[in-house]
Amino acid sequence: WTSGGILFWLGFPFSNILTVVPFLVIVIGIDDAFLVLAGWRQSTKGAPLAQRIAESVAISGASVTVTSVTDVLCFAIGLFANMPVVRLFCLFTSLALFIDYVYQMTFFTAVMSFIVRRQIRLDRKAIENKVAPEVIIPSIEKLKEKLSEKPVFAVMMPVFTPPVKTAPVKGRLEIFIEWLHTKTAKFLVLLIFFIHIGVSGFLASKVNTDFDMENLYLEGSPLTLISRRMQVIFFKLLALPSVL
């Protein structure tokens, strides 16, 4: 709503395709919310509320920022499209995702600080009411000592021999993980990454972005003439101001 209000106030027109933007932003926003909550679960338990909120944002902030920046940049590429509808959709979506990121880091964390207060109170009660494990369940060594004091149980108690430590056998996955930490693997990953970026950039520059709605109809269809007239009217109505 914030992005729509800003752009409508600036004079940008409305299109039916913009009805998809709220659902798209909600899905991405929910993913960021899960990341922030995951950071909260990894924060130091028993610490003050302000410290735990700071730790949760510090843990999840990098992931939320990277995903938000990449999403905004991906949709911002559509601002260079030839079709006004595509430019309009990408403009609304890019601004909405940016505002969603700002709200995630400010408004959502503030609201979360009120919600997690109940969890902090429950954790404190659990710690206060917690009974020491040795009081409830006696250790095996203490149980053996008590039983060995009586001759009947001393005969029945088996002699415990510690197991011989052997080197664990590494599986294929562990060997592969160790190989990934080598300099050779790092070099190969970087090489493949830069090759991928170069090939993708070269092929993307060869893409023809021209779109003709007449290609959607069969040759000789009566809709072709109607489509030509609609395109003239459509592009006049959706002539957008310069966004760059």
Per-residue model confidence as pLDDT tens digits over 126-183: 777 764 444 444 455 555 555 555 554 444 545 555 556 666 777 787 888 888 888 8
What local confidence, expressed as pLDDT, does residue 144 receive? 54
Q: 212 vs 181, which has greater pLDDT?
A: 181
pTM exceeds 0.85, yes or no: no
Q: 93 vs 2, which has greater pLDDT?
A: 93
What local confidence, expressed as pLDDT, does residue 209 receive? 61
Assess contact for 1 and 72: CB atoms under 8 A: no
Minimal CA–CA distance to 39: which of 57, 27, 24, 26?
Answer: 57
> Strand locations in the chain, DSSP E?
none
Name the range with the highest mean pLDDT among 3-7, 98-102, 122-126, 148-152. Answer: 98-102
Tokens of 92: 């609304």
Q: 210 vs 169, which has greater pLDDT?
A: 169
